[in-house]
Structure 1
Amino acid sequence: MTHVSMPADLRHVAERAKGFMPSNEGQALFETAYTYGSLGPICEIGTYCGKSAIYLGAAARQVGSVVFTVDHHRGSEEIQPGWAHHDPTLMDPRFGKMDSLPFFRAAIAKAGLEEEVIAVVGRSETVARYWNTRLAMLFIDGGHSEGPVTSDYEGWAPHVMVGGALVFHDIYPDPADGGQAPLRVFERALASGDFKEVAAEGSLRVLQRVGFSA
């Protein structure tokens, strides 16, 4: 991995945006995007309010890449009403549904990254079905139950180019620390033989498609 500091102004915006990405993991995400972004576009599955997209977009700007971030913006299971991570300020009273899209747009505008970060609004599995562009980096951080993580991996991992990166968030070897679905899919990716682990920071895991050394 390339060790490079994220610009202080963008790091400041990222750290204050709504989201669940610790700053050390955000820096690692930035470094990963910086390392692989020059090979092609970056794709994030699970936008929420744009926190991680700022880390990705900051790197994309420096290496001349772009970030596509895919989300239906109605919230994953764990942030719905009655769940531990629910944020009532994201509820749209007109429809009785979550809507994180306005918060994402405000965060990206505040960061000045509207040219580098492109929102794709829709269900991950639907977008994946019609996606045809090779990816230099794929970051899976959408729904964290078994179905969504599996679907994101199966739908998007085949698009990662040889030498590109597949990145998972919320990998917890100890069940006491968090859900196990992302860990199981991460282990499946390793067992496939298509990827090798090249970096880890907190709950972030970076895999590289076999055949290239970054």
Structure 2
Amino acid sequence: MKLLQVPEFDIQSVKGFLADDEGEGLYQLALTASQMGPCLEVGSYCGKSTVYLGAACQQQGQTLFAVDHHRGSEEHQLGEEYHDPELYDGQAQKMDSFRTFRDTLQRARLEYTVVPVVAPSAVAARHWATPLALVFIDGGHALETALADYRSWAAHVIPGGLLLIHDIFPDPADGGQAPYDIYKLALASGLFEALPTINTLGVLRRIA
């Protein structure tokens, strides 16, 4: 699927953990949702999901806010399973995906569509007042972090808008449970209804 009018850009060149069908799902869902207002993602990493969401927003003349502190989740840190040496800032002795993220936006020509918000999720949300047509949560997978992301952003989704949660694994043998826990929390709130899941991408629509 060709997302952008940028012949030299290849989505597969962007580091990330998003399956192709999930990315295409993000694009299609955002294409519809962004007709109602701006969209926001929590957890940009190097920008793979940002390109899918941003391309849809760009088509609709809309804005995507991309919230990430760019210091990586627990599993990205030095010595951990998903640590990437190319994203490690030796001088600061910290992981830093922001430089790569900015390069992705430049290559995809999305710099006038995507607004990077470089801050922890809860800090970015502290004084947030903009209603959102779509929120995509794909930040840290520790329960405390996932809960903070849900509590910070779900309330900003407008009626008819979408709440998307990545890495939904109903069976604990398949993966961590924090994203699934906040998915269930959203359903239990009575504010959201479930739409068909796309691979591990949970899709919820706000109904109240």
TM-score under structure 2 length normalisation: 0.95
Are 2:12 and 1:7 equivalent residues in the alignment?
Answer: no
Segments of structure 2 that go 5 or more residues without pairing to the other structure are none
The answer (yes or no) to whether the contact 2:4–2:108 under 8 Å persists in 1 is: no
Are 2:189 and 1:192 equivalent residues in the alignment?
Answer: yes
The answer (yes or no) to whether the contact 2:3–2:52 under 8 Å persists in 1 is: no
Rate the CA distance shift 1:56–1:83 in 2: closer, same or farther, 3 A. same
**C-alpha RMSD of the superposition:** 1.5
Segments of structure 1 that go 5 or more residues without pairing to the other structure are none
CA drift at 1:10: 6.1
Are 2:59 and 1:62 equivalent residues in the alignment?
Answer: yes
State the partner residue of 2:112.
115
Identity %: 47
The answer (yes or no) to whether the contact 1:6–1:58 under 8 Å persists in 2 is: no
State the partner residue of 2:124.
127
State the partner residue of 1:51.
48
1:131-161 Cα deviation digits (max 9, x unpaired): 1100000000000110110000001111111
Letter of the 1:52 counterpart: S
Letter of the 2:3 counterpart: P
Tell me how far apart the structure 1 counterparts of residues 186 and 15 of structure 2 sit (CA, whole Å). 29
The answer (yes or no) to whether the contact 1:70–1:122 under 8 Å persists in 2 is: yes
The answer (yes or no) to whether the contact 1:15–1:23 under 8 Å persists in 2 is: no
The answer (yes or no) to whether the contact 1:14–1:52 under 8 Å persists in 2 is: no
SS at match of 1:26: helix
Are 2:164 and 1:171 equivalent residues in the alignment?
Answer: no
Q: Which has a greater percent of helix?
A: 1
Are 2:156 and 1:143 equivalent residues in the alignment?
Answer: no
The answer (yes or no) to whether the contact 1:44–1:69 under 8 Å persists in 2 is: yes
The answer (yes or no) to whether the contact 1:47–1:70 under 8 Å persists in 2 is: yes
Tell me how far apart the structure 2 counterparts of residues 16 and 186 of structure 1 sit (CA, whole Å). 30
1:97-112 paired onto structure 2 within 5 Å: 97-112=94-109
The answer (yes or no) to whether the contact 2:192–2:207 under 8 Å persists in 1 is: yes
Letter of the 1:111 counterpart: A
CA drift at 1:166: 0.3
CA drift at 1:15: 2.2
SS at match of 2:126: helix
1:29-49 Cα deviation digits (max 9, x unpaired): 101100101100000001111
1:24-82 Cα deviation digits (max 9, x unpaired): 11000101100101100000001111110000011001112110000111111111112
Rate the CA distance shift 1:190–1:10 in 2: closer, same or farther, 3 A. farther
Q: Determine which of 87, 91, 104 is the counterpart of 2:88.
A: 91
The answer (yes or no) to whether the contact 2:4–2:55 under 8 Å persists in 1 is: no
